[in-house]
Amino acid sequence: MKVIAGIDVGKRELVVSVRGGPVRSFKNEAEGIRELGEWLRTEGVTQVVCEATGGYERGVVQGLRGKGMAVQRAHPSRVRSFAQASGQGAKTDRLDAQVLALYGEVFEVEGQRVRDRAEEELREVVGRRQQLVEQRVAERNRLEKGLGGASKKSMERHVAWLGKEIARLDKALEALVGGNPQWRRRAELYQSVSGVGKLTAAALLAHLPELGQGDAKGMTALAGLAPWSRDSGQHHGSRAIRGGRQKVRRALYMAALAAIRFNPVLKAFYRRLRRKGKVGKVALVAVMRKLLLQLHAIARRGTPWVTACPGAPF
**Per-residue confidence (pLDDT) for residue 199, from 0 to 100:** 93
Identify the pLDDT of residue 229.
60
Q: φ and ψ at 112, to 5 degrees?
A: -80, 160
Please give the pLDDT value at position 268: 93
pTM of the model: 0.74
The 10s digit of each residue's pLDDT in 208-222 is: 888 888 888 888 888
Domain ranges of the chain: 4-106, 117-179, 190-308
* Half-sphere exposure (Cβ direction) of 238: Cα atoms closer than 13 Å: 5
Interacting residues of 121 by C-beta distance below 8 A, sequence separation 6+: 176
Across the range 250-261, mean pLDDT stands at: 92
| Apex 250 CA angle, 129 and 112, nearest 5 | 85
Alpha helix stretches (DSSP H) within the chain: 30-42, 58-66, 76-85, 93-106, 117-143, 149-178, 181-190, 198-207, 216-222, 246-262, 264-275, 280-301, 305-308
Q: pLDDT tens, 46-69?
A: 888 888 777 788 888 888 888 788
Q: pLDDT class for 234, splitting at 50, 70, 90?
A: low
Question: Would you place residue 233 in the very low, low, confident or very high pLDDT band (cuts 50, 70, 90)?
Answer: low
pLDDT digits (tens, 9 = 90+) for 123-147: 999 999 999 999 999 999 998 887 7
Nearest to 295 by CA among 217, 214, 189: 189
What share of the chain has pLDDT > 70, as a percent? 89
pLDDT given for residue 312 in this prediction: 45
As its CATH architecture, domain 4-106 has 2-Layer Sandwich (3.30)
Choose between 116 and 44: higher pLDDT. Answer: 44
What pLDDT, on the 0 to 100 scale, is given for residue 176? Answer: 94
Predicted local confidence at residue 110, as pLDDT: 55
Closest CA to 1 of 32, 53, 45: 45
CA of 67: how far to CAs of 46, 60, 63, 234, in Å? 12, 11, 7, 54
Contact status, residue 100 vs residue 94, Cβ threshold 8 Å? no
**So what's the pLDDT on residue 242?**
65
Looking at residue 135, its pLDDT comes to: 95
Q: pLDDT value at position 58?
A: 83
